[in-house]
Structure 1
């Protein structure tokens, strides 16, 4: 498998379900029979108002091993602007239905916060419903969507060969989930989490049939304003952060900040990130004093308390890595020595399921990114 990337379910599961060496030798148990996701699993997105003329489409349960990115709906006089487009063809179809449940206006634009699949793979279903909608991205994100980062996905129309390769990777996820559930010693909360993920996987397989990546039709470098009398939207590329092409959306009248994966709750994602730039970007966003923060995953927030916690976590991780680099530690040694238990407790509390994924979605990948930054090594985006 390629470098672990959260956005492709197969790649995440193949690497991040690994347990301790002792667990690796544990005997297998029977295979639970998976079903479809339940209401309690919170997989299928719902829509709710944030403020007048702004809605959030999100998963009711914020954390999933393979999540669907949040979608923000903004009403203009002549149509609707969406920020992001969901994580699969099936999710995109459900997004279309949710949008139509709150407005009869057409979607005129879809702005992509970054290139990751859980934010872009539903766009094809949305533009099928509204063919005249523009798809907007930064020029950097556009390059990732057209290039190596998303080479596994067909563009323009379904591709049987690429679909078959994708399905094979999902086969490995199924095996990984089965093996994870068979391991002894899982906490009840972890077992619940893996069982729910197995149910989710059944729906995810259905949702990812006929995958097609819809490419941007409009790009920008630094900023782009989508004007409107009541809900103007300022699309900005604040610099590198969670990715090298992040887009944020700022609604100056409503003081709503749509952050994409620069902000993710309840557990931040740290893959292939740019630590110092990310820290500066979040602080600059805080200086705008938003009334609402809308993360790439998780519920809308009324204050910046969570943002400050993420900034502090970035700072603490960078400091710990820098100290290891000064001592001449290798990256592997730094990962073993650095203790982020205080940060884990802040974000995951005493939940063993969230603690597991805090370590795999933040501790391991972000220490690697911070180590590369501290040693001057290149940080490159992965493959989705």
Structure 2
């Protein structure tokens, strides 16, 4: 059997986009497991949560926004630093780009490397990449919590703990009970864990659960439109993470190699999660990071385009 194509380079099929309403002035742009974007319409303007990977991709989101409001797009929130989430920001021409202090630090440390890495992994998401003006830099950051008033509408932006990255933020709209989670929660899509903190992530999910959200926009997958779906999304995400890290940490404790840990983890996960979007793409990166954390490496190593290829070949060859 031939080795699988690298990451998502073979994924060229266009996805069906859905723009669903979860509350008054609250929308989710979703596309069958591609990165989601959230939209909050306030009294005096609009906030976009995660931007898509290029200005061209962002313009598709803007087209949907203009179908429901003509208010200016004043704010962009970066839930974390990954290129597919941030590099389309310039298309919105916002007044402010918001992110946690930790996210800005990660852009400084590894933003360019991540851009090069993700472009090589998922070329379909980087259409018209030449239109990206450069790294997206926040204009306003905060350590843990920031409250934004969009007229009468209050938006609570919070860094609840480490998980998908060290700097993840969520946006909570209390008047509607709707939460935008970024990639801390996924729905029928694999969690990407290449920059994760496995031991912390379940505790961050607990904090998200404490909101008892009526609806939630995950990082990938369908929007969760009622409390039952929100609970299912949180549990699926937790099960994915605990199964993955449990398997890999057990292998590491036995002194098995990374390749052996990868094979054992695939056997443990594929029956339940193998049909999730981008599962095969994520799995080598996920196991590599889980193995590092199990071996005591708290700060994730930087992925580069070269490291990506070397790791993929060693695990899938």
**Which bin holds the TM-score, normalised by the shorter protein?**
0.7 to 0.9
Determine if contact 1:74/1:231 at 8 Å carries over to the other structure: no
Determine if contact 1:243/1:381 at 8 Å carries over to the other structure: no
The counterpart of 2:62, out of the listed 93, 96, 112, is: 96
Determine if contact 1:141/1:246 at 8 Å carries over to the other structure: yes
The equivalent residue for 2:83 is 117
The equivalent residue for 1:255 is 177
The counterpart of 2:71, out of the listed 93, 99, 105, is: 105
Provide the rounded CA distance (Å) in 1 between the counterparts of 2:9 and 2:107.
Answer: 29
Whether 1:271 and 2:271 are equivalent positions in the alignment is no
Cα pair distance change 1:125/1:226, threshold 3 Å:
same
Residues 27-80 of structure 1: per-residue CA shift (max 9 Å, x gap)? xxxxxxxxx96xxx326x442312111011222xx13xxx4x221111211211
Determine if contact 2:113/2:303 at 8 Å carries over to the other structure: no
Provide the rounded CA distance (Å) in 2 between the counterparts of 1:344 and 1:226.
Answer: 42
| Gap regions ≥5 residues in structure 2 | 306-317
Determine if contact 2:51/2:89 at 8 Å carries over to the other structure: yes
Q: Which moved more, 1:232-241 or 1:207-216?
A: 207-216
**CA apart distance, 1:287:** 2.0
Residues 183-240 of structure 1: per-residue CA shift (max 9 Å, x gap)? xxxxxxxxxxxxxx9xx84x954x3232123321100110101124653111111121
User: How many residues were matched structurally?
Assistant: 294
Determine if contact 1:146/1:215 at 8 Å carries over to the other structure: no
Cα pair distance change 1:288/1:215, threshold 3 Å:
same
Q: TM-score, normalised by structure 1?
A: 0.68
Whether 1:296 and 2:219 are equivalent positions in the alignment is yes
The equivalent residue for 1:208 is 129
Cα pair distance change 1:252/1:17, threshold 3 Å:
closer
| Gap regions ≥5 residues in structure 1 | 1-12, 20-35, 154-165, 174-196
Determine if contact 2:187/2:237 at 8 Å carries over to the other structure: no
Provide the rounded CA distance (Å) in 2 between the counterparts of 1:226 and 1:250.
Answer: 10
The equivalent residue for 2:273 is 347
Cα pair distance change 1:381/1:257, threshold 3 Å:
farther
The equivalent residue for 1:330 is 257
Provide the rounded CA distance (Å) in 2 between the counterparts of 1:46 and 1:305.
Answer: 20
Determine if contact 2:7/2:280 at 8 Å carries over to the other structure: no
Determine if contact 1:89/1:209 at 8 Å carries over to the other structure: no
The counterpart of 2:47, out of the listed 59, 81, 97, is: 81
The equivalent residue for 1:220 is 142
The equivalent residue for 1:49 is 21
Provide the rounded CA distance (Å) in 1 between the counterparts of 2:162 and 2:302.
Answer: 11
The equivalent residue for 1:242 is 164
Provide the rounded CA distance (Å) in 2 between the counterparts of 1:56 and 1:18.
Answer: 26
**CA apart distance, 1:299:** 1.3
Residues 107-149 of structure 1: per-residue CA shift (max 9 Å, x gap)? 111110111111111111111xx5xx20001112112334432
Determine if contact 1:236/1:249 at 8 Å carries over to the other structure: yes
Residues 261-303 of structure 1: per-residue CA shift (max 9 Å, x gap)? 1122322222221111111111221122111121112211122
Residues 144-181 of structure 1: per-residue CA shift (max 9 Å, x gap)? 3344322586xxxxxxxxxxxx7xx97x88xxxxxxxx
Determine if contact 1:89/1:122 at 8 Å carries over to the other structure: yes
Determine if contact 1:85/1:123 at 8 Å carries over to the other structure: yes
Larger radius of gyration: 1
Q: Which moved more, 1:100-109 or 1:318-327?
A: 318-327
Determine if contact 1:110/1:136 at 8 Å carries over to the other structure: yes
Whether 1:366 and 2:293 are equivalent positions in the alignment is no
